[in-house]
Chains A and B, each alone.
Chain A
Amino acid sequence: QVRLVQSGAEVRTPGASVKVSCTASGYTFTSYAIHWVRQAPGQRLEWMGWINVGNGDKKYSQKFQDRVTITRDTSASTAYMELGSLRSEDTAVYYCARGDIVLIDYWGQGTLVTVSS
């Protein structure tokens, strides 16, 4: 079955960066995109960007494009999301999710990133 396993919770200070990993199994990694979506406490889900795992194409939400980098390692079936210049408002659960370019069908378990001084 499709499985996306994310790295563990992180704590960062303001101004730092964080890199979250997402390891896929149960399907052909290069045949789908990986999206990143976050959910701050009490807030709605917020799409950050995606990577076409097969060809490496990326698209970022304008809100995050200056601070976020999404990459992948096909040999390890793993995608990464790095968010820089962290501020307290970036405290959230970050999800990776599988899909095509626009539709998300399976989600990882989420990674809590806490930004605090």
Chain B
Amino acid sequence: EIVMTQSPATLSVSPGERATLSCRASQSVSSNLAWYQQKPGQAPRLVMYSASTRATGIPARFSGTGSGTEFTLTINSLQSEDFAVYYCQQFDYWPLTFGGGTKVEIK
């Protein structure tokens, strides 16, 4: 199965600053990659799909890039509601697989 590796595990960022999250696939997944945001005690929420397409209701400060094996989620001007755990997930191969997550915390 495709192994998804996220880095860093924890990212400490001040409100208003930029956060850059990385996701690597063990083999090419083309652009078939999604990002989810999860807050404590809540279900995940789709943030980005097909590597660079924002999901419904996601603000423009979120952007995604990458293809093949290397992907990045960037959050510009972090707001309080953005502090959460972010997971990447590939949907190019079965089984669907998720990364281990990056926790974006307040610095």
Contact = CB atoms under 8 A, between A and B. Distances in A.
Contacts of B32: 102
B45 A103 contact: no
A102 B96 contact: yes
A61 B95 CA distance: 6
Contacts of A109: 42-43
A88 to B, nearest CB: 21
B99 interface: yes
Given A45-B87, A45-B89, A106 B46 contact: yes
Interface in A85-117: 95, 97, 102-110
A105 B98 contact: no
Interface residues of B, number: 22
Interface string B80-98: 0000000101011011111
Contacts of A63: 95
Contact of A46 (B43, B91, B98): B98
B101 interface: yes
Contacts of A46: 98
B13 interface: no
Interface in A48-62: 59, 61-62
- Pick from B32, B46, B49, B96 the residue with the most CB of A within 10 Å: B96
B44 A107 contact: yes
B3 to A, nearest CB: 10
B21 interface: no
Contacts of B96: 35, 47, 102, 104
Interface of A: 35, 44-47, 59, 61-63, 95, 97, 102-110
30 contacts: A35-B96, A44-B98, A44-B99, A44-B101, A45-B36, A45-B44, A45-B87, A45-B98, A46-B98, A47-B97, A47-B98, A62-B95, A63-B95, A95-B43, A95-B44, A97-B43, A102-B91, A102-B92, A103-B49, A103-B91, A104-B34, A104-B96, A105-B55, A107-B43, A107-B44, A107-B45, A108-B43, A109-B42, A109-B43, A110-B43
